[in-house]
Amino acid sequence: MTFGTTICAISTASGMGAIGVVRVSGADSYSIVRKLVVRMAAFDDLEPRKMLYTGITDANGELIDEVMLAKFASPSSFTGEDMVEIYCHGSEYIEQKILVRLTQSGAELARAGEFTQRAFLNGKMDLSQSEAVADLISSSSAESHRVAMSQLKGQVSSKIAELREKMLDLTSLLELELDFSEEDVEFADRTKLVALIDEICAEAERLIKSFEYGNAVKSGVPVAIVGEPNVGKSTLLNAILHEDRAIVSSVAGTTRDTIEEEFVIDGIRFRFIDTAGIRKSDNEIEQLGIQRTFARLKSAKIVILMLDALSYGRRNEIIDSVKSEISSDACLLVVINKIDVENLELEDDISIGISALESTNVDKLCAMLADYVKSLKPESSDVIITNARHVSSLVAARDLLVSARQSICSGVPSDFVAQDLREANYHLGEITGAISTDEVLGSIFSKFCIGK
């Protein structure tokens, strides 16, 4: 596909750095950049994917910077178009000056994600792979990197292609029958059709389920630390982070606002939320803090409910009150703190005894968190869904398959069944972008950074 414009953008992060990269893509890339360079003849002779050392000048012929640059020839480039990448010194001033020169010479400023959008529209990658580019850029732990990389390499795409292939087999069986509907023949074996639908549904279901893990890995796992005042919640947060982040004091009701910090354990990023201690209070500010604790409880994936010797006797009542507030798929870990002072006998419903103050068993508690997240990881295959858009398409496809199955079993005419199957296939196609609208593409790529 050829686009009318040649686009340019700074591709490196803003701020100072050793090197800054300015990218140009489009049919006029070479002729536009040529106007800026000192060594024009050498630029003309430059083979794609080789480096040229040259100067870039402003409109008055004054040197802006000494740079290295490389040409990439269509279709063998990231976008599939002719491209030039300019490697200048990493000063925002220099990068901006080069950008201005490029726009004065005929290039347009790229929109967010426009390079990747062009790559998609030129068939260099499909939609789920394009989305993986954004995930890869924002990956901040080993596991989120691994999952984004496998999506970029096309694992999600090939799984969806496999499902669509099976769907096509199904619909073609039925559609053949529709061609001969006048003759009242049944080509498709109903039992075989139902078995095929079940197989696709099970696979879709597995992918939908994998989102629980995929989303946790991609966005960080929210862990709320809750309990009565003074049990040592803030001390635990500090012990996990190995820094003095939250204020700790022997005064009950020290933490008022929730405090959130990220920490990577065993390749998985967690978002720890220290909360205000739960108790009945007349203090307005403390009440507001406690309301926030309950709000954070609902969205936590893991809840660490902390008890100490003082609250231990009322543990059943405390555990029940927290259980009624947390999400049904959240994991509840009941932790006894201050074992350095009093080592209580641990009942079955207690996960572990720790001393946050002396960091006793804090490592073990962290390992329990990582083990829990790993237990959510789907076993049978490596394909993990991390994108809410993919899940909603899979859910829509699965629901239509379920409806098609019911129709077949209750003898509904084939054309209704075929219609459901066609729609289900349409939703699967949305994931890879085999089927897409400008609106969908616009909303996906606008979330990218400029220059990608």
Ligand X SMILES: Nc1nc2c(ncn2[C@@H]2O[C@H](COP(=O)(O)OP(=O)(O)OP(=O)(O)O)[C@@H](O)[C@H]2O)c(=O)[nH]1
DSSP 8-state symbol, 245 = -
Q: Which does 97 bind (CB under 5 to 8 A by kind): ligand X, Mg ion, none?
A: none
Q: Which does 331 bind (CB under 5 to 8 A by kind): ligand X, Mg ion, none?
A: none
What tokens appear for 42 in the block? 């050498």
Which of 10, 69, 8 has its CA nearest to residue 43? 69
Which residue lies nearest ligand X, judged by its C-beta? 277
Contact 225, 275 (CB under 8 A): yes
- Tell me if 337 contacts Mg ion by CB under 5 A: no
List contacts with ligand X (CB under 6 A). 229-235, 248-250, 252-255, 276-277, 337-338, 340-341, 355-357
Q: How many CB atoms lie within 10 A of CB 293?
A: 22
Minimum distance, C-beta of residue 349 to ligand X, in the bound complex (Å) = 20
CA pair distance 71, 74, nearest whole angstrom? 10
Residue 67: in which H helix or E strand, if any? Answer: strand 63-72
Cβ closer to ligand X: 322 or 444? 322
Grouping H, G, I as helix, E, B as strand and the rest as coil, residue 187 is coil
10 Å CB burial of residue 401 (0-12, 13-18, 19+) is buried
Q: Which does 231 bind (CB under 5 to 8 A by kind): ligand X, Mg ion, none?
A: ligand X
Grouping H, G, I as helix, E, B as strand and the rest as coil, residue 437 is coil
Minimum distance, C-beta of residue 373 to ligand X, in the bound complex (Å) = 24
CA pair distance 207, 214, nearest whole angstrom? 10
Minimum distance, C-beta of residue 243 to Mg ion, in the bound complex (Å) = 15
Q: Which does 357 bind (CB under 5 to 8 A by kind): Mg ion, ligand X, none?
A: ligand X
Out of 12, 141, 215, 255, which residue is the one contacting Mg ion (CB under 5 A)? 255
Minimum distance, C-beta of residue 304 to Mg ion, in the bound complex (Å) = 13
Grouping H, G, I as helix, E, B as strand and the rest as coil, residue 91 is coil
Minimum distance, C-beta of residue 196 to ligand X, in the bound complex (Å) = 56
Minimum distance, C-beta of residue 372 to Mg ion, in the bound complex (Å) = 24
Cβ closer to Mg ion: 85 or 286? 286
10 Å CB burial of residue 311 (0-12, 13-18, 19+) is buried
Minimum distance, C-beta of residue 427 to ligand X, in the bound complex (Å) = 47
Minimum distance, C-beta of residue 224 to Mg ion, in the bound complex (Å) = 13
Task: Kindly indicate which of the ranges 93-101, 208-216, 229-237, 396-404 contains the residues binding Mg ion, using the contact rule CB under 5 A.
Answer: 229-237
Cβ closer to ligand X: 145 or 271? 271
Cβ closer to ligand X: 337 or 432? 337
Q: Which does 235 bind (CB under 5 to 8 A by kind): Mg ion, ligand X, none?
A: ligand X
CA pair distance 50, 48, nearest whole angstrom? 6
Sequence-separated (6 or more) residues with CB below 8 Å from residue 445: 111, 112, 113, 114, 116, 117, 130
Cβ closer to Mg ion: 124 or 233? 233
Cβ closer to ligand X: 336 or 401? 336
Cβ closer to Mg ion: 87 or 294? 294
Q: Which does 253 bind (CB under 5 to 8 A by kind): ligand X, Mg ion, none?
A: ligand X
Q: Which does 20 bind (CB under 5 to 8 A by kind): Mg ion, ligand X, none?
A: none
Out of 122, 130, 234, 407, which residue is the one contacting Mg ion (CB under 5 A)? 234
Cβ closer to Mg ion: 57 or 254? 254
Contact 155, 382 (CB under 8 A): yes
CB-side exposure of 397: number of CA atoms within 13 Å? 29
Residues pairing with 83 in the sheet? 25, 72
Buried b (16+ CB within 10 A) or exposed e, 15-49: eeeeebbbbbbbebbbebbeebbeeeeebeebeee
Minimum distance, C-beta of residue 351 to Mg ion, in the bound complex (Å) = 20
Minimum distance, C-beta of residue 348 to ligand X, in the bound complex (Å) = 22
Q: Which does 338 bind (CB under 5 to 8 A by kind): ligand X, Mg ion, none?
A: ligand X
Spell out the alpha helix ranges (H) of 180-230.
Answer: 190-219
Residues contributing to the site for Mg ion (CB under 5 A)? 233-234, 254-255
